[in-house]
Amino acid sequence: NAGVTQTPKFRILKIGQSMTLQCTQDMNHNYMYWYRQDPGMGLKLIYYSVGAGITDKGEVPNGYNVSRSTTEDFPLRLELAAPSQTSVYFCASSPPTGGDGTDTQYFGPGTRLTVL
């Protein structure tokens, strides 16, 4: 299994441009997440999905959109890039919560985005 893969690894955008960050997992996990991490800070949840066709907002959803048409893919869309969106973006997935809380989240390697 490749686990969670993210593309691209790096990207520089100009203000106002748009782009899609790709995330794919091959573990057949129901749950998928998008986090952002600003320099020196912890991760903050942007959006999450509990299954294909179902998404919900996290802590910092403004400026982003997501879709979940398949179990494997969970792309994150930036429509009008702003300098405040300069960050490292991590995608994660996890199986449904088991009775003992065994719902480990598996993270991808991240996408480093700079908006100038």
Partner 1 sequence: DAKTTQPTSMDCAEGRAANLPCNHSTISGNEYVYWYRQIHSQGPQYIIHGLKNNETNEMASLIITEDRKSSTLILPHATLRDTAVYYCIVRIKAAGNKLTFGGGTRVLVKP
CB of 42 to partner 1, least distance (A): 3
Binding site for partner 1 (CB under 8 A): 4, 31, 33, 35, 41-45, 48, 50, 56, 58, 90, 92, 94, 97, 100-110
Closer residue to partner 1 (CB): 2 or 41: 41
Closer residue to partner 1 (CB): 17 or 58: 58
Closer residue to partner 1 (CB): 9 or 14: 9
Question: Rounded to an integer, what distance in angstroms lies between the CA atom of residue 92 and that of residue 87?
Answer: 16
Rg (CA), the chain: 14
**Whether 31 contacts 48, CB under 8 Å:** yes
CA dihedral 82, 79, 31, 28 (to 10 degrees): -120
Report which residue type is found at 97.
Answer: T
CB of 105 to partner 1, least distance (A): 6
